[in-house]
Every structure is written in C-alpha cells, then in structure tokens.
Amino acid sequence: MDAARVERWAKLAEADALLAGLDGYVLEALGLTPPPKDERKVYAVSKSSLGSQSRLNADYFHPERILALRALEHPMQHLDCPRLEEVVGFIRDQIKTPGPNYLSLANVQSHTGELVPTDENVTGACSTFQRGDVLFARLRPYLNKVHTAEADGCCSPEFHVLRIKDADALSPDYLAAILRSSLTLAQTRHMMTGNTHPRLTNEDVVNLVIPVPKPAIQEMIATEARRRREEARRLRAEAEAGWQAAKRWFEEQLLGPVQP
C-alpha cells in the first residue's frame, strides 16, 4: 500500500508539473521574460503616475506589476498588446439557482485550470457560460484559477466569464494560458482590493494588458496546452486506477477473495 501510494503521488505530481510548466513554454514562444520576483515593501512612485492612474492604493504601483507591463513594451513591434476588454466580452448572464455542470472556485485547480471534484453545497444565483468561454476568478487572484469551459454550464459569480469577440483572432486555449501565465499574475496580484476577500474589480480586469501574437503562434501554444492537458489527465487516470487496484488487493489479502 505504501508503494502504491508513492506511485500515485508521483504520477499526480508529474501531471501537475506538466501543466504548470506550460508557463515557461508560453513565454518562450512569445519571446517574453517574466519580471523578477520583487518582495519590496517600500518603493517610490511619482506624483504624475498617481494622477494619470487615478489610484492611491500603494500595491497597484508595486515594482513587480510595473516591470510586468514594461516586459510587454519591448516586443510590441511584433506583438499586439491590447487591453482585455478589446478582445473579449464580459458575460454577466445569471440564473437564480445552480443548474447542471455547476463550477465553483473550489472546482478549478490553481495554476493548471483543471477541474477537481468538490462536495461543496451550492445555493443562490450563479453566472452562465458556454463552451469555449474562459472563466477567470475575481476572488483572490493570486490563486490563479483560470478555466476554459469544455461544455455549457453555470458557475460561481466569483468568476468573470470571458467570451472571445473574434474567434479568428484569439484562441480560447491561448487566452486561458496567457491569463494563467506569470506575466499576468504579476499584474493581478497587485491589482486586487479588499482585505478579507480580495478581488479584482471590474474596472481593473477590463484594463489588463495581454500579448496577442499571430494566429499561427496562438495555435502552436494552444496545441501544446491541449497535449499537456490530455497527458496530465492520462497520468491522473493511471494514478487513480493503480490506487484502486492496490486497495482491492489489500482488501482481498485482509478479507479473502470476494465471492461472485
């Protein structure tokens, strides 16, 4: 049982690493470098910067966020870098009670976007989404929960539901990958407001800057994202099947073979 448990953990860790490693692939394909991690608590901001942004909260001007935006400036000659609201619509259709295929924040794994089971009891109004929409968590953005919907359904209102305006210009799998990237996370982790339940405001989300390369590069990244997702799911299925087989073996050793 110990050996089976170790093997299960190893396969699950390999699946998580495969998905989390997509960030490096995306940034390399785009020719971008993520900003270095900056833990400074004290930094200077010019008065003109405060005036142009109409913001007074200090973390909004954190060096990590500023460096993330500057990282997009250098490659602008070959990368379009629009604000998020220029390429997606924010869908706010709601229903009064949860329906089939409901997704809560707990259902979406951090940094990978994969779905995980939960026994959460859900009531109240929720947002609706369609296959191909991208769900982008507004609550605690540092948890980095972004999911590409593979079927129609409904979700917690703590998700922004993003629907691509031009399917020929932007791929859902690419959009999800870049929103999960360290480059975007370096922006969002310093844009949230609130102490107990920090969130991204609607105004801040629409102004997120993302790189949008040519469709061929997007498709290359989307194809790699799908390949990793399928491989990760295969590894997880193998991990679960191996663990269930080990438990059956243990029960047979303990209780004897199950009679038909």
| Rounded Cα gap, residues 21 and 23, in angstroms | 5
Residue of 210, 192, 198 whose CA lies nearest to 55: 192
Q: Which domains are present in the chain?
A: 15-221 (3.90.220.20)
Residue pLDDT, tens place only, 129-176: 999 999 999 999 889 999 999 999 999 999 999 999 999 999 999 999
Backbone angles phi and psi of 164, in degrees to 5: -65, 135
Please give the pLDDT value at position 92.
Answer: 92
Please give the pLDDT value at position 230.
Answer: 95
Please give the pLDDT value at position 75.
Answer: 57
| Rounded Cα gap, residues 98 and 113, in angstroms | 21
Residue pLDDT, tens place only, 16-75: 999 989 999 999 999 888 777 777 888 888 877 776 666 777 888 888 888 888 888 765
Please give the pLDDT value at position 76.
Answer: 52
Q: What is the mean pLDDT of residues 95-118?
A: 90
Q: What is the pTM of this model?
A: 0.86
> Which of the given ranges, 33-42, 188-197, 201-210, has the highest pLDDT on average?
201-210
Quote the tokens at residue 71.
């990282």
| Rounded Cα gap, residues 259 and 257, in angstroms | 6
Backbone angles phi and psi of 195, in degrees to 5: -100, -55
Residue of 149, 150, 136, 114 whose CA lies nearest to 210: 136
Please give the pLDDT value at position 106.
Answer: 93
| Rounded Cα gap, residues 169 and 86, in angstroms | 12
7 exposed, middle or buried (CB, 10 Å; 0-12, 13-18, 19+)?
A: middle
Quote the tokens at residue 195.
């102490």
182, pLDDT greater than 80: yes
